[in-house]
Structure 1
């Protein structure tokens, strides 16, 4: 394996999907073979593998030129032989310029939304970056199909996310607090960034009808993001303050307890233009707790969940469809339990992060 520089806007302990994807792939590799450069401020002490540096200029245009200068110096110090970046724009431009000027090869990692937006905003540049890459890594076959449609000859490998079970240990203190808070309740759980395509609003708007049959129902949303204020406004509009919780500050050490206390996991994801669910690690997390799952079926979700035997996958994500799916599982506990157990069993067929790391090691050789 070449000495790799991982060039990313996100990295652990940042909890975004791309940051966790890169972290879990590379942490299983020999530490002397890679370094991480991120412009994300470190939230806590981390290892010497990570350097936090400003990669984009705040004033000078184009902004990526600063990244070329910063990375050039870092390559010399580390003697880097290859760049890996999960951000085709703008960090893919940095990698491409260094390939053109210094001959440093690079690998582009794609996750669904990124390739769609890049093609919309800078199609010719995006295609050039992909054509010049040593390799393209995609997080799902659905993302891979977007690349194949471009008829680009660059080698492509699908490396799907896996489950980090150790991160989901159940914190006893948190679980006890949740037991007290939700005593006597049936709990619906969603976990994810608060953006529209995750479908939180649809679940909230389904609650008035669901509460007529299941008055003890409660909905817990774990996540943060730009939709928070609007979701809270809808909750207030529907007088659901006592029925819906939005928890924006749940830590990794607490998250497992939320899955463990929940009765049903619902995340009715859907496509909005280029904004898609590239895979959905949270579906693997919910499955590891045997939760019955309701999900959208808009892009990469089926690759995370397998088939309709393991979850309710909604081809059309509407208010009525979400409401009816939740009601069907509440009314049929045996079916709900079967779906949850099937999803848990399927995890045995999902490659581990260690296995996926061997793939990235091969790609970077």
Structure 2
């Protein structure tokens, strides 16, 4: 099968959707498929809209059985798909941009553009049932497949951790919390900081992720200073896989109470290290985390919920151990990237055959 994939920028090992796309390409190629990656320029939203003409020219020259498109690229593709003749288009949807918070005028405009794009594709790959439901509110989501992201990229680092290491770590030092994701308002690191500052125990927070929004990054440093917790917070920027694995291994809790998250690959990866995952109720987090068993599902707008979930772990390390072991076991039950890729490949193979 000849497959095309449209992404913004280079297809590398960035977190989230890029990790999903990269692992899918690896899986398809390992199965013997030819995959052509078409990289569109990463630019401002307005400039991306102007790229529809150049994107059309480039995609008309791509001879494939099926064209995969990362839905993130929708501004550059909204007027393209209807002009691609007979090439079937399958959109990989991680989360909808229109579910994020924007000024009203921009929200309305982006919803219109994204809706036009979604109605222009022939089939979908969803990263969660929640994402499928959000698309179903816009257009018919069929045919589709839900293929959950995996978290086994750290298998060579001894993941999943064994009971002994998890138990020994739980008794060690202040509560070490880690959050992983691009620094942007949607990730709600500010809400996490406020919640931690309200606790009475000793803690350390490691914030891992590229500063994609400079203004937001500056506001986080200012907030930490305002709350008097600057010495307890470390901003690392983006880390290599080895350094990220080391950070996860020595942490106690993963926390990412995003305002919206389609699924949460970083949370799943952290669970492999025996970290209970505190995730948002806004999105697909509840499909991964069972509240108060292997983590916590909280309202991202309610700081007290985040505080109430974390506070008992300071004084009750046996509870931390219980949650940690359950998180590790939940990770072990989850599909691997090979299985996720096979799920998508089987869907694509059947889809192409039915089109023919």
- What TM-score does the superposition give when structure 2 sets the normalisation length? 0.81
Q: CA deviation at 1:143?
A: 1.1
1:260 equivalenced with 2:246 (yes/no): no
Counterpart Cα distance in 1 of 2:263 and 2:250: 24
Q: 1:358 aligns with which of 330, 342, 345?
A: 342
The one-character-per-residue Cα deviations of 1:178-206 (angstroms, maximum 9, x if unpaired) are xxxxx954311111111223231123223
Q: CA deviation at 1:241?
A: 2.3
Q: CA deviation at 1:95?
A: 4.8
**Contact 1:137–1:157 (CA<8 Å) still a contact in 2?**
yes
Q: CA deviation at 1:164?
A: 2.9
Q: CA deviation at 1:291?
A: 1.4
Aligned to 1:49: none
**Contact 1:95–1:106 (CA<8 Å) still a contact in 2?**
no
**Contact 1:191–1:282 (CA<8 Å) still a contact in 2?**
yes
Aligned to 1:214: 201
Counterpart Cα distance in 2 of 1:191 and 1:122: 27
Aligned to 1:154: 142
Q: 1:71 aligns with which of 59, 63, 67?
A: 59
Q: Secondary structure at the match of 1:20?
A: helix
Q: 2:179 aligns with which of 184, 190, 213?
A: 190
RMSD of aligned alpha carbons:
3.0
Q: CA deviation at 1:144?
A: 0.8
Aligned to 2:78: 93
Aligned to 2:266: 282
Aligned to 2:127: 139
Q: CA deviation at 1:12?
A: 3.7
The one-character-per-residue Cα deviations of 1:48-80 (angstroms, maximum 9, x if unpaired) are xxxxxx9x9969x7431011112223x1xxx32
1:349–1:245 CA distance, 2 compared to 1 (3 A) = same
Q: Secondary structure at the match of 1:85?
A: strand
Q: CA deviation at 1:338?
A: 1.0
Counterpart Cα distance in 2 of 1:214 and 1:84: 48
1:64–1:218 CA distance, 2 compared to 1 (3 A) = same
1:36–1:94 CA distance, 2 compared to 1 (3 A) = farther
**Contact 1:135–1:154 (CA<8 Å) still a contact in 2?**
yes
Q: 1:224 aligns with which of 210, 224, 227?
A: 210
**Structure 1 stretches of 5 or more lacking a match?**
42-53, 171-182, 271-275
Counterpart Cα distance in 1 of 2:27 and 2:67: 18
1:234 equivalenced with 2:235 (yes/no): no
Moved more, 317-326 or 85-94: 85-94
Aligned to 2:163: none
1:112 equivalenced with 2:112 (yes/no): no
Counterpart Cα distance in 2 of 1:304 and 1:11: 29
Give matches, 1:118-137, under 5 Å. 120-121=108-109, 126-127=114-115, 129-137=117-125
Counterpart Cα distance in 2 of 1:320 and 1:115: 27
1:123–1:39 CA distance, 2 compared to 1 (3 A) = closer
Counterpart Cα distance in 2 of 1:303 and 1:158: 12
Counterpart Cα distance in 1 of 2:70 and 2:236: 28
1:28 equivalenced with 2:27 (yes/no): yes
Counterpart Cα distance in 2 of 1:267 and 1:122: 25
Q: Secondary structure at the match of 1:27?
A: helix
Q: CA deviation at 1:140?
A: 0.9
**Contact 2:52–2:76 (CA<8 Å) still a contact in 1?**
yes
Q: CA deviation at 1:141?
A: 0.6
- What TM-score does the superposition give when structure 1 sets the normalisation length? 0.79
Aligned to 2:302: 318
1:244–1:308 CA distance, 2 compared to 1 (3 A) = same
1:251 equivalenced with 2:240 (yes/no): yes
Give matches, 1:35-46, under 5 Å. 35-39=36-40
Q: CA deviation at 1:240?
A: 2.2
Q: CA deviation at 1:153?
A: 6.2
1:162–1:115 CA distance, 2 compared to 1 (3 A) = farther
Counterpart Cα distance in 1 of 2:221 and 2:46: 35
**Contact 2:5–2:37 (CA<8 Å) still a contact in 1?**
yes
